Amino acid sequence: MHILLGLITAIGGVVWALYRLQNSGVDLNSFNPFHWARRRRWEKKLGTKEIHRLQDPIEAAALLTVAMATLEGEITREQKNEIIALFVQEFGVTKNTAAGYYTSSSHMLKDVMNMSAEVKNILRPTKSDFKQNHVDTLVDMLSKISTAEGAANTEQDLLLKAVIHEFQNV
């Protein structure tokens, strides 16, 4: 009987301690390993850059194409229309979808400083989905955009070489 009273007292003590911890501001879910794992997955997902989480190869190609155009300087209305027309032609999408690709790509690129260094991380999730004809099309699109306003500058050459280098290491 004395063992049973000791066990009930111990359980009561643990419940009281947990209650007091919760009232003092400690999150009791932090002791739950399943809650911790779920929270950790969300932190990893939200902690990575948006451009590193692209799952669609078309979105990755659109992002690289818009990045190539922005390396030349500010994008004019004519360049924007040319890029959207290129998306419609190469991706086989509607003009509204192509405009959406352009808009989302330009939004994601606002905080990128060194684009050629980001190519590896941008293509990592989608590299296996690219076939050789897709790679050739992407390289052609990047070449067209880089030479649209004359000769390509150094940063554009570095970006093109980084894309080619990344696909050679498949």
CATH code for position 75? 1.10.3680
Closest C-alpha among 56, 46, 72 to residue 142: 72
Number of Cα atoms under 13 Å in the Cβ half of residue 61: 27
Number of structural domains in the chain: 2
As a whole number of angstroms, the distance between CA 16 and CA 22 comes to 10
* Per-residue confidence (pLDDT) for residue 170, from 0 to 100: 58
CA angle 82, 88, 94 (to 5 degrees): 125
Work out the angle at residue 142's Cα, subtended by the Cα atoms of residues 138 and 147, and round it to the nearest 5 degrees: 150
Looking at the fold, whether 25 and 61 belong to one and the same domain comes out as: no
| 120 and 102 inside one domain | yes
Residues 108, 133, single domain; the answer is: yes
Q: Are residues 114 and 152 in the same domain?
A: yes
- Grade residue 61 by pLDDT with cuts at 50, 70 and 90: very high
**pLDDT above 70 for 150:** yes
Query: Do residues 9 and 37 share a domain?
Result: yes
- Indicate whether 83 and 41 sit together in one domain: no
The arithmetic mean of pLDDT across residues 154-168, rounded, is: 89
Give 77's Cβ-side CA count (13 Å radius): 0
Query: Domain of 131?
Result: 54-168
**Shared-domain flag, residues 84 and 12:** no
Specify the 3-state DSSP secondary structure of 62: helix
Q: Stretch 64-72: mean pLDDT, rounded? A: 90
Cβ-count burial 99-116 (b if 16+ within 10 Å, e if not): bbbbebbbebbeeeeebb
